[in-house]
Structure 1
Amino acid sequence: MTLVKMPYSKKFINVSIPDKNLIKILESKAHNYKPELSQEKIVHRALNNPIKSKSLEELVRGKNNVVVITSDHTRPVPSKITMPIILQRIREVNPNIDIKILIATGYHRPTTKEEMINKFGEEIVKNEIIINHMSKNKDDLVKVGILPSGGELWLNKIAMEAEVLIAEGFIEPHFFAGFSGGRKSILPGIAGAETILANHCSEFISSKNARTGVLKNNPIHTDMLYAAKVSNLSFILNVVIDKDKKIINAFSGDSEFAHAKGCNFVKDLSKVDNVKADIVVTSNGGYPLDQNIYQSVKGMTSAEACCKQDGIIIMVCACNDGHGGQSFYDQMANAATPKEILNKVLKIPRNKTIPDQWEFQILARILNKYKVIMVTDMCDPQMIKNMHMDHAYSFEEALNKALKLKGENAEVVIIPDGVSVVVK
């Protein structure tokens, strides 16, 4: 038997696979990458060497105000390390500057105070001005242009009124934007609901270029780049993290060029072979990305790339926060089959995109070809079954179900962290 540690919520669980079945473990090299410097020193090194940009200090010197965009509660950005450094360096050259921290919630719910404390630490939450972006509050938005795809670009008014706009984030493979980080702080991060919906339309999601690790000719990425430029995003700090959510590298400077350099670093570490199997086991990387079914679709796409026809995906994902989106759940639960969902969504025009459409479109794409068994003891099994998936309380139960369906000699591939790899 081979024992593999799988991230699950805020811990790891051990899964055992018979040696006769296991053919490959696919893992990002980032998980075993050993940086020479501490996390803090890595961040300072990046800020001391901005890419195609003035330094952070030069940008804020003499200015009256700055807005710092940060990711929300669904992203494992190590803000307890990065944010104090950003604030310190700004105030060292401009002690009286007005600073606002804007949480890029995109289309998600607001981040709670408890989640803010978990993300930033009590001191920052107590002493700083922190604002949740609200994509559906039209009074909080301003129209700043037309996207290359033709949609109206509405962005957060506070960000657009800032003298200096900067963003922190992290870079990992992303299942339709190619990579996270960089321009995503603006779109979808601080964009209006209508803008986000248009950018995430079925036409773009079904594009062969809207895939993990792909930026070239990716229509979603093209819109996002434009949004970052029009917003006058002056500076980014993007980090790369390992399986323990520790910083292993960081990139700062111009929102396009610093991000591109970071993406190349991540791609080199995260590329894995496309090994086809009857059963593919994966996860969503643990907390915070495995809090709900909505987010779990990301990890499933890595397994999708390795599944043989009519294969089985075993998804180890806590989903303690439930489905993650009412529209997402309703669209899945109210359809007779995943194929029905696909047929319906592909007929929806770009300007009529509905909430969570991109997520149920991708999940339906996966379920139309493969069976998914969700492993969790933190979520209502009936909810999972209503969404056309199977449920197991333990990995052992899921594997037994899969082997009964595919045979005792079925080949198994394990991707311990599905959101960290680019399957080639």
Structure 2
Amino acid sequence: MNLPLGAGTIEVQLPACDVTVAEAPGRPPVDVREAAEAALADPHGPPLVERVDPDDEVAIVVTDVTRNVPDDVLLDVLLEELADIGVSRDQLTVVVGLGLHRPMTDAELEAMLGPHADLAVNHDPESVVEVGEVDGVPIEVGEPVVAADSVLSTGVVEPHQYAGFSGGAKTVVIGAGSESIIRYTHGPDVLSRAAVRLGRLEGNPFREILDRAGDLVGIDCSLNLTHGPDGILGVSAGDGRAVVRELADVARDALSVPVSREYDAVVCGVGAPKDANLYQATRAATYVALGDRNPLREGGRLVVPATLEEGAGEGKGERRFYDRLRNADDAASLYRELREGYDPGAQRAFVVARVLRDHDVYVTNSHSPDVVEACLMRAEATVEDALEPGSDVLVVPDALHTLLVDG
């Protein structure tokens, strides 16, 4: 079988194992441009012409290199719609929602946004303005967003470890926000709540905090998509909450795979862009083990093929993640320590430690085996090397876009 690795694939042969492949049913993909144009023509709530005035200064917050989103197409469609309203290019600022990830390079911006790269600025989490409070926590957003008369966003609604599904207000509140909201939403008090889990929207406090913060920012329109193994599954526009609900329903139908028994090991496919660093690649393991249905037996292992050309990651959050893991003696003591609190970014170490208490995580095929070994995980050259002969193995080719549910 072929599994994703970076921008390509690797061939994996497991003749000595009993293998089951968990492939989401999917649905026929849509043309992104056509679907985006249709979504803006029939949005949730008023059309864009009623949300944006011709003389408005407009900020459009887009996702960064860690998200697999055709922002160039979504941005192109938005800009055409804005031009029809009478908004010119010199009234536009495209803010790259980095959160605490590293800034994108000029070359990356050019590759991601094409002819619109000249409009882009990297979000600076140190240059923010407070717009209000949620639960006593200051909501701070980047200056270009606060200075704008209208705020739009692109994004992807995909299964998310904490928010249930990403998208909607998250692109702006987290991507163009400050450490204060990230520290709160990603802290142990919020993440340890039972309703904060992959695939859940209703009653999810993490999601509710994001939406309330988005109300304070005043996000005028979200243009989001959702995708699966075969491509883009749908696009929706308008009010963020409704956009997320619509696309989450599409994703659930297309990505859910029932699991009726337990396995010795799960091979978790990732691929680009998420497998560029350990911070992002570990999502595959935690999505599987901490999802609706953990398919592993007690002591079972998770195997993640990932390139890790950026090592642990180069942003502030990624460095905090790395420092916490590499300085820990073991997963159980690290988890107990992190329950007392941590800086934003280290939440991924908290979630990884939660998994490592019960399961070994092997990362294979990487350029950074020393980083893997330093972070309480195990490095092997190949997927085959990470599995014991005779193992009962579940292979999830696209672990970030597969929802394992009770079967």
Q: Same fold (TM over 0.5)?
A: yes
Residues 28-87 of structure 1 show CA distances to partners (whole Å, capped at 9, x for unaligned) of: 233xx224x532211111111101x22123322433211111001111111122111111
Equivalence map 1:80-229=2 (5 Å) = 80-96=72-88, 98-121=91-114, 123-125=115-117, 128-135=118-125, 137=126, 140-148=127-135, 150-229=136-215
The answer to whether 1:14 aligns with 2:47 is no
The answer to whether 1:74 aligns with 2:66 is yes
Equivalence map 1:339-378=2 (5 Å) = 339-348=332-341, 353-378=342-367
SS in 2 for 1:378: coil
TM-score norm. by structure 2 comes to: 0.93
Alpha-carbon distance between aligned partners in 2 of 1:19 and 1:45, rounded to the nearest angstrom: 50
Change in Cα spacing, 1:63 to 1:27, as seen in structure 2 (3 Å) is farther
What one-letter code is carried by the residue in structure 2 that aligns with 1:364? A
SS in 2 for 1:214: coil
Aligned to 1:322: 311
Alpha-carbon distance between aligned partners in 1 of 2:288 and 2:233, rounded to the nearest angstrom: 25
Change in Cα spacing, 1:232 to 1:306, as seen in structure 2 (3 Å) is same
1:25 to 16, 21, 27: 21
SS in 1 for 2:297: strand
What one-letter code is carried by the residue in structure 1 that aligns with 2:178? G
Aligned to 2:377: 389
Equivalenced residue count is 395
Alpha-carbon distance between aligned partners in 1 of 2:181 and 2:273, rounded to the nearest angstrom: 25
Between the aligned residues of both structures, percent identity stands at 24
The answer to whether 1:338 aligns with 2:320 is no
* Cα RMSD after superposing both structures: 1.6
Shift of 1:95: 4.5
Shift of 1:20: 5.4
1:421 to 374, 379, 402: 402
CA contact (8 A) 2:63 2:97 kept: yes
Shift of 1:332: 0.6
Shift of 1:106: 0.8
Shift of 1:248: 2.7
CA contact (8 A) 2:196 2:206 kept: yes
What one-letter code is carried by the residue in structure 2 that aligns with 1:339? A
CA contact (8 A) 2:169 2:214 kept: yes
Alpha-carbon distance between aligned partners in 2 of 1:81 and 1:300, rounded to the nearest angstrom: 31
What one-letter code is carried by the residue in structure 1 that aligns with 2:376? H
Alpha-carbon distance between aligned partners in 1 of 2:346 and 2:100, rounded to the nearest angstrom: 12
Aligned to 1:251: 236
Alpha-carbon distance between aligned partners in 1 of 2:53 and 2:131, rounded to the nearest angstrom: 26
Aligned to 2:28: 34
Aligned to 1:312: 301
Alpha-carbon distance between aligned partners in 1 of 2:149 and 2:340, rounded to the nearest angstrom: 42
Alpha-carbon distance between aligned partners in 2 of 1:143 and 1:38, rounded to the nearest angstrom: 39
CA contact (8 A) 2:305 2:364 kept: yes
Change in Cα spacing, 1:278 to 1:265, as seen in structure 2 (3 Å) is same
Alpha-carbon distance between aligned partners in 1 of 2:55 and 2:253, rounded to the nearest angstrom: 38
Aligned to 1:296: 281
Alpha-carbon distance between aligned partners in 2 of 1:330 and 1:38, rounded to the nearest angstrom: 42
> Structure 2: any 5+ residue segments left out of the alignment?
none
CA contact (8 A) 1:186 1:227 kept: no
What one-letter code is carried by the residue in structure 1 that aligns with 2:146? M
SS in 2 for 1:158: helix
Residues 340-374 of structure 1 show CA distances to partners (whole Å, capped at 9, x for unaligned) of: 111101122xxxx3132210001111111111110
What one-letter code is carried by the residue in structure 2 that aligns with 1:417? D
> Structure 1: any 5+ residue segments left out of the alignment?
none
Alpha-carbon distance between aligned partners in 2 of 1:216 and 1:354, rounded to the nearest angstrom: 27
The answer to whether 1:280 aligns with 2:270 is no
SS in 2 for 1:182: coil
2:48 to 53, 56, 66: 56
Change in Cα spacing, 1:369 to 1:20, as seen in structure 2 (3 Å) is closer
TM-score norm. by structure 1 comes to: 0.89
Shift of 1:195: 2.0
Alpha-carbon distance between aligned partners in 1 of 2:165 and 2:106, rounded to the nearest angstrom: 28
SS in 2 for 1:311: strand
Alpha-carbon distance between aligned partners in 2 of 1:318 and 1:209, rounded to the nearest angstrom: 33
Residues 213-271 of structure 1 show CA distances to partners (whole Å, capped at 9, x for unaligned) of: 01222221111011111111010100122336x42310011111122111111112122
